[in-house]
Structure 1
């Protein structure tokens, strides 16, 4: 049976608040521990599992595996803690902590593809927990970005175990599994309970985290001959090593994948991988400017701090730190190598969404070819407004103040960087007229 809101369980110890989700193997409820006034999650077997031939023997195994998870979760920050086990009528219940935070799926939807370093950090932490789970004979079977929650502290937690399906090995409910882009085909048709199922699903979750897109469903690859698009074809900044690691773990046939999570993640935990990531950027400067602080801010998606750091670095490169602003003569002789470095960093770490060159392309689409980037050209005010509208600097016939601008990856294309135009107190039109178009002219001269 499916419980309704306000339903009391376990002698009134728990009260159901709502259904959080239904998977192939179970139903997950949000509930309240009445005495502690504490939010919890209760997972029960899906009602269809009662038709499985070995369901009468289910209780003993459910308790055994719940006990194992409770022991493991006590020592692992990346595993949702198990707090209680009980039986309500003929329904077995597993009680876990309710994790405050945001699912990896929602995080990617909100911010766009994650930086490679962040995504790998999340997945390797989850992988370490999975490795121990597999070591005691359990398999999760339902890994997806929906089942990885990033706590408010930034730590990832694996939730929603598929215990019922792991116990009822002869059940044929896997064909109803949700989150199809993250499932290997053998889970649908062969009911596989091997660790390579979790390897595939964790790799598919990593694919989604770094591209913002779902991978091609395995059943279409198996039976319709569709191809899996390599991650770095979608996001060129993805390293060759990460691209290869994801593709290996998402091999269509289980025998072609790494046979354990530890084996799969090994290339992403080696020191040379992180050294390679940090060294891949060209941080050259003609005037001795250190661009590593900006690189670090962009890697960690601190967009507003990166925007302000960009202005500080431009002032330093132009020798205008004392004045605190850029004038047209200085923009017209801004070092090309430094301009290239600044633009490349912004374009790379925003996955092509932000950067001077992105802004220049938008500007060029709005003006006539003869005056696209001519300094001092007599552009009409309407053109500036349309440009501001597209970048999110101007809305409802008003130039926004700096404090009112959004600093997220969901901001309009070309929205950042913005501080270089002297964006303050509604003077954006004048500031952009004085400096922005001149910068686009300089980009043209520097072949950027």
Structure 2
């Protein structure tokens, strides 16, 4: 180790608390920002790398990582580690990052064993949503594996775990691979085209994330893709290891881990759609909340097919989550700060008990088909597609179709959306959130 516990660095700005670990290029330390009294992670290059003749090249790559990570977390995505600073201390470049209290998915599964299907999907879907945002910025992570998925839990709130993507150390843009990238990638979870040829495409991240879901659900590492390709070893279907696994999730994992890139979903959005479709038949939804809201009544109403009462209950719990019960409507800040865990719980309940016919995610898919913009024209197109608008007129509360004969995405209703504004404009802001 280069720094000792309790050591002050960078003119006393940081106090090293403990060594966290590291890989071939960089190491990480838990530290305290002494002026802000904020716990952070400091990541400098490994001492051994500094003796390498190619060290200047590694430093350039390290600088690029800092720049890419800063770009990816510009919008403070809840599932991407935040970068705070990049500086030089003791002749080493250092990256200051957000400290994630918790443990990696790798360690969590090792200690807890294979996770329940719904819990595993919750974390993996959060990672997928983060990667959709990363890919839009032209960046690939290339190592979306269990050690790089941190789980943060609030011990006071049941089922409050949140996944955060860390370590962009081998991330690259979507340009042709450099020689430096050819040797990277976790071989237990990476496709052979990355580890053997350094090929970088969105399908690499699809494979890695599907492999991480395989591990989370089975508790076992999947068959090495290199051995599958060149030794003709077979990938054991996860359902063979976990017979209770739903067919849809089993198929989503196998498609995401198809040996050849051309046989996988070509974008992260496509793979997430496979996963979302499979969730309609999940046996149980974890009633998770980041703020302690109870969703049992909503589940009971949806299970009984009481769509109108469930729609009204959705309005009630959304206001409770946002602490806007007295106001009776949600403002822009409420939408921006609405906890992603609660949003996903409400959505999963609607998706499950409507067999994939209703829910926020269904509405979002249709919104994207309408152009995915937040403007009045898109609002009207969405209203027409969801049956919220008929002959250019928005429906009143008593005109909604509270049955499964309604158009896909009709519920939760536009009347609930009017909590946000007179029209449903701000509802589009809710659907545009990257964590939905």
* CA deviation after TM superposition for structure 1 residue 165, in Å: 5.3
> In structure 1, what is the equivalent of residue 193 of structure 2?
186
Contact residue 127 and residue 265 of structure 1 kept, 8 A: yes
> Does structure 1 residue 175 correspond to structure 2 residue 180?
no
Contact residue 215 and residue 221 of structure 2 kept, 8 A: yes
**Aligned pairs for 1:370-385 within 5 A:** none
Structure 2: gaps spanning 5 or more residues: 155-159, 289-436
* CA deviation after TM superposition for structure 1 residue 199, in Å: 1.2
> In structure 2, what is the equivalent of residue 147 of structure 1?
148
> Does structure 1 residue 61 correspond to structure 2 residue 61?
no
* CA deviation after TM superposition for structure 1 residue 162, in Å: 2.5
Contact residue 199 and residue 258 of structure 1 kept, 8 A: yes
Contact residue 149 and residue 164 of structure 2 kept, 8 A: yes
> Does structure 1 residue 27 correspond to structure 2 residue 27?
yes
Higher Cα radius of gyration:
1
Query: 1:69–1:86: structure 2 CA closer, same or farther, 3 Å change rule?
Result: farther
Query: 1:211–1:2: structure 2 CA closer, same or farther, 3 Å change rule?
Result: same
> In structure 2, what is the equivalent of residue 345 of structure 1?
none
Structure 1: gaps spanning 5 or more residues: 279-294, 300-448
1:352-378 CA distances to partner (integer Å, 9 max, x unpaired)? xxxxxxxxxxxxxxxxxxxxxxxxxxx
* CA deviation after TM superposition for structure 1 residue 141, in Å: 2.1
* CA deviation after TM superposition for structure 1 residue 71, in Å: 0.5
* CA deviation after TM superposition for structure 1 residue 104, in Å: 1.8
What is the SS of the residue equivalent to 1:29?
strand
C-alpha distance in 1 between matches for 2:219 and 2:287:
18
**Aligned pairs for 1:87-126 within 5 A:** 87-88=88-89, 91-126=92-127
**Aligned pairs for 1:148-167 within 5 A:** 148-153=149-154, 154-163=160-169, 166=172
With the length of structure 2 as denominator, give the TM-score of the two structures.
0.57
> Does structure 1 residue 131 correspond to structure 2 residue 132?
yes
With the length of structure 1 as denominator, give the TM-score of the two structures.
0.55
Contact residue 24 and residue 173 of structure 1 kept, 8 A: no
* CA deviation after TM superposition for structure 1 residue 195, in Å: 2.1
What is the SS of the residue equivalent to 1:64?
helix
1:60-90 CA distances to partner (integer Å, 9 max, x unpaired)? 6345324303304x1x211122222223365
> Does structure 1 residue 276 correspond to structure 2 residue 281?
yes
1:258 equivalent among 265, 272, 287: 265
> In structure 2, what is the equivalent of residue 306 of structure 1?
none
- The more displaced of 87-96 and 241-250 is 87-96
C-alpha distance in 1 between matches for 2:59 and 2:110:
42
C-alpha distance in 1 between matches for 2:147 and 2:195:
19
**Aligned pairs for 1:5-404 within 5 A:** 5-46=5-46, 48=49, 51=54, 54-55=57-58, 57-58=60-61, 61-72=64-75, 74=76, 76-88=77-89, 91-153=92-154, 154-163=160-169, 166=172, 169-172=177-180, 175=183, 177=185, 179-270=186-277, 273-278=278-283
C-alpha distance in 2 between matches for 1:148 and 1:84:
21
Q: Aligned-pair RMSD on alpha carbons?
A: 3.1
> In structure 1, what is the equivalent of residue 397 of structure 2?
none
What is the SS of the residue equivalent to 2:188?
helix
What is the SS of the residue equivalent to 2:119?
helix
* CA deviation after TM superposition for structure 1 residue 215, in Å: 0.6
> In structure 2, what is the equivalent of residue 385 of structure 1?
none
Query: 1:235–1:129: structure 2 CA closer, same or farther, 3 Å change rule?
Result: same
Contact residue 79 and residue 129 of structure 1 kept, 8 A: yes
Size of the aligned set, in residue pairs, is 279
What is the SS of the residue equivalent to 1:142?
coil
* CA deviation after TM superposition for structure 1 residue 166, in Å: 2.9
* CA deviation after TM superposition for structure 1 residue 246, in Å: 0.6
C-alpha distance in 2 between matches for 1:149 and 1:63:
19
C-alpha distance in 2 between matches for 1:165 and 1:296:
33
C-alpha distance in 1 between matches for 2:58 and 2:111:
41
* CA deviation after TM superposition for structure 1 residue 135, in Å: 1.0
C-alpha distance in 1 between matches for 2:263 and 2:239:
21
What is the SS of the residue equivalent to 1:87?
strand
